[in-house]
Structure 1
Amino acid sequence: MAVKKKGLGRGLDALFPEKSVKPAEKKQEQKPVATNESLHQQEEGSLNASAVKSAAETKDTAQAAVVEEPKKSEMLVKISKVEPNRTQPRKQFDEDALLELSESIKQFGILQPLLVSNKGDYYEIIAGERRWRAAKLAGLKEVPVIIKEFNDQQVVEISLIENIQREDLNPIEEAMAYKRLIDEFKLKQDNIAERVSKSRTAVTNSLRLLKLDERVQQMLIDEMISAGHARAILAITDKDKQTSVAMKVFDEKLSVRETEKLVKHIVEPPKKTQKTVNTAEDAIYESLEEKMKGIMGTRVFIHRKKNNKGKIEIEYYSRDELERIIELFESIR
């Protein structure tokens, strides 16, 4: 029997006010097909909430719903009449995973119906686009669906929750979905965090990724860098520098810690001690160096320090020249 996934708080239960329960799942145990369940577990687990009552309702009421509501909402429709939701958060699908799921569907069919809304001349997918794509690859002519009517906000929330539960969204898709909930439906970050059962900090950090240069965002989508790398690069405001650092991270396979150090060096370069410029004084010391060079017959450097202190450096290039310089000093006495 399908098991309700408990990983994300309210999850989809909070978005399904109706009491539709599949009798086949309550009255009798599902036929054991280990291979099918293992292949479908990740795909199907998060959507079982669409076929059960809200957790707040009592067990007795749930049993009554089994008797009162037979499978009237589930039906078979032509797969050509079903279309994906163009605004759904997920944009990329793993081809290998789709092929694996399609092979399972060829053998065992679709265990969990697609959740769709009736658009008149076609059905729009609310949840289950991956199954729909795999069913097309498997050559199915019809797919099981459950028709539900939701407003635009609920559709976005359901799609977002479904994908987050299965960790199917890449970091940028997830951030874009949060942004849409904020921009179009005026939700606060706290509201979003509650709906997807994540911390507000996690939602905030996700949204910050949209401040990255588009080239860096694409590298994140392509898994050339991780979300940890991307968050470190966010400290750089210049878009071109962001891209340059991201490429360096990829080329040199830098860790997140190494990336943080690199970014810190760029953002806060070590301060160089500036020499006090004194042109007149410099000229005097250069003149003294030249005078001493004439006396010594070799290069002489005067290194100044604070409080009128310093040291004199005299170069020699052979043992004989060293002895000559020593004799010169001795002649001064």
Structure 2
Amino acid sequence: MAGRKNGLGRGLDAFFPDRTSVVKEPARKTITKTVKTEKKSDVAEKQTNPTVAKKQTADSKTGAMIVKISSVEPNMDQPRKQFDEDALMELSESIKQYGVLHPLLVSDKKDYYEIIAGERRWRAAKLAGLTEIPVIVKEFSEQELVEISLIENIQREDLNPVEEAMAYKRLIDEFHLKQDEIAERVGKSRTAVTNAMRLLKLSEKVQQMLIDEMITAGHARAILSIADKEKQESIAMKVFDEKLSVRETEALVKRMLEPPKTAKKSKFSSAEDAIYESLEEKMKSIMGTRVQIHRKKNDKGKIEIEYYSKDELERIIDLFESIG
């Protein structure tokens, strides 16, 4: 990992070998000509030529183009799908005061500019009421676009675990990259990429709970040991309802995966076994958890009540107190 920028493989700089010069060099004549006060003929030309309408002036300080914010649109295929509204509002307040300090990276789609990196700034700028925004135009292959979006979002820790896993999957499915190649590009270990992609084996409902932060990635990885999708959802809901820790979730899953113990030959008659099984079921329905009656000779024995978290133990104690 030595020598990697920002600790992320090649980082964004790998896509910009002349990144410093991009900012310092004068912009091309076709896009940097300062717009004069508009005449009626100019307005008419803009209405008939959308390419003219979307291009504005060059910022001499950054080398970026200043374009109408309405001419910039997000990339529908970018990995990030969710944005924190509170964080966007904070950024918009900063933009109101200082403006957009870092230009957006965009590609020229003739009729509009498509965001390659900087959608969060674009959204915040719209919230701040800006009508113009600085952009730098670059052209990349489809694979590079996915990689840039993925790297930028990982650098800012903006992706939820499912979005990150889906981005890795797209690089594999569409561009035939191997997991070690992806790991190199985003500056993560191959194991981290593999573990991230395993989350896609969860049911869609559990994935959505992870996106909605009802459970954590640690909980999700523990639940992955269960192959049955319905059982995954049942455990995930139990984790959420009872606020189980990751360790408690791992213990719960381990108990579920343990093979059933071989039943010992009963010392009692089948009629007595049926009675005690009925009593166990009755107590289970009352307690809301697993109950076992262990019988001994001379009508003695013990009752075993299982609980899976501190909250569940307190619930059982409250149940006993209410009976008393």
**Are 1:22 and 2:23 an aligned pair?**
yes
Structure 2 distance, partners of 1:102, 1:209, is 33
Residues 24, 63 of structure 2: 8 Å contact kept: no
TM-score, normalised with respect to structure 2: 0.68
State the one-letter code of the partner of 2:156.
R
Amino-acid identity (%) = 75
| Match for residue 95 of structure 1 among 85, 88, 99 | 85
Once the two structures are TM-superposed, the CA of residue 18 in structure 1 deviates from its matched residue by 3.7
| Match for residue 228 of structure 1 among 218, 221, 225 | 218
Once the two structures are TM-superposed, the CA of residue 17 in structure 1 deviates from its matched residue by 3.6
| Match for residue 202 of structure 2 among 184, 187, 212 | 212
Structure 2: where are the runs of 5+ without partners?
26-59, 271-295, 301-324
Change (3 A) 1:181 1:272: same
Residues 143, 175 of structure 2: 8 Å contact kept: yes
Once the two structures are TM-superposed, the CA of residue 23 in structure 1 deviates from its matched residue by 3.2
Once the two structures are TM-superposed, the CA of residue 271 in structure 1 deviates from its matched residue by 1.3
**Are 1:199 and 2:189 an aligned pair?**
yes
Structure 2 distance, partners of 1:249, 1:182, is 32
Change (3 A) 1:314 1:241: closer
State the one-letter code of the partner of 2:14.
A
Residues 199, 207 of structure 2: 8 Å contact kept: yes
Once the two structures are TM-superposed, the CA of residue 15 in structure 1 deviates from its matched residue by 1.8
Once the two structures are TM-superposed, the CA of residue 313 in structure 1 deviates from its matched residue by 5.5
Aligned length: 238
Once the two structures are TM-superposed, the CA of residue 21 in structure 1 deviates from its matched residue by 4.0
Partner residue, 1:56: none
Change (3 A) 1:313 1:145: closer
Partner residue, 1:237: 227
Once the two structures are TM-superposed, the CA of residue 114 in structure 1 deviates from its matched residue by 0.3
Structure 2 distance, partners of 1:314, 1:90, is 64
Partner residue, 2:239: 249
Residues 219, 249 of structure 2: 8 Å contact kept: yes
Partner residue, 1:174: 164
Partner residue, 1:43: none
Partner residue, 1:49: none
Structure 2 distance, partners of 1:156, 1:116, is 13
**Mapping 1:270-289, distance limit 5 Å:** 270-275=260-265
State the one-letter code of the partner of 1:10.
R
Residues 24, 62 of structure 2: 8 Å contact kept: no
Once the two structures are TM-superposed, the CA of residue 314 in structure 1 deviates from its matched residue by 9.7
| Match for residue 154 of structure 2 among 148, 157, 164 | 164
Change (3 A) 1:8 1:312: closer
Change (3 A) 1:22 1:312: closer
Partner residue, 2:128: 138
Residues 73, 147 of structure 1: 8 Å contact kept: no
Structure 2 distance, partners of 1:182, 1:98, is 31
Partner residue, 2:13: 13
Q: Secondary structure at the match of 2:6?
A: coil
TM-score, normalised with respect to structure 1: 0.67
The one-character-per-residue Cα deviations of 1:28-61 (angstroms, maximum 9, x if unpaired) are: xxxxxxxxxxxxxxxxxxxxxxxxxxxxxxxxxx
Q: Secondary structure at the match of 2:116?
A: strand
Structure 2 distance, partners of 1:314, 1:74, is 87
Q: What is the RMSD of the two structures over their aligned residues, measured on CA atoms?
A: 2.7
Once the two structures are TM-superposed, the CA of residue 272 in structure 1 deviates from its matched residue by 3.0
Structure 1: where are the runs of 5+ without partners?
25-69, 283-310, 316-333
Once the two structures are TM-superposed, the CA of residue 275 in structure 1 deviates from its matched residue by 2.3
| Match for residue 117 of structure 2 among 100, 123, 127 | 127
Once the two structures are TM-superposed, the CA of residue 71 in structure 1 deviates from its matched residue by 7.0
Change (3 A) 1:101 1:312: closer
Partner residue, 1:27: none
Larger Rg: 1
Once the two structures are TM-superposed, the CA of residue 74 in structure 1 deviates from its matched residue by 1.6
Change (3 A) 1:74 1:212: same
Once the two structures are TM-superposed, the CA of residue 143 in structure 1 deviates from its matched residue by 0.4
Q: Secondary structure at the match of 2:81?
A: coil
Residues 67, 132 of structure 2: 8 Å contact kept: yes
The one-character-per-residue Cα deviations of 1:210-251 (angstroms, maximum 9, x if unpaired) are: 000011001100111110000000010110000000000111
The one-character-per-residue Cα deviations of 1:5-25 (angstroms, maximum 9, x if unpaired) are: 62323201112244534239x
**Are 1:74 and 2:75 an aligned pair?**
no
Residues 127, 159 of structure 1: 8 Å contact kept: yes
State the one-letter code of the partner of 2:23.
K
State the one-letter code of the partner of 2:205.
R
The one-character-per-residue Cα deviations of 1:169-205 (angstroms, maximum 9, x if unpaired) are: 0000000000000000000000000001000000000
Partner residue, 1:187: 177
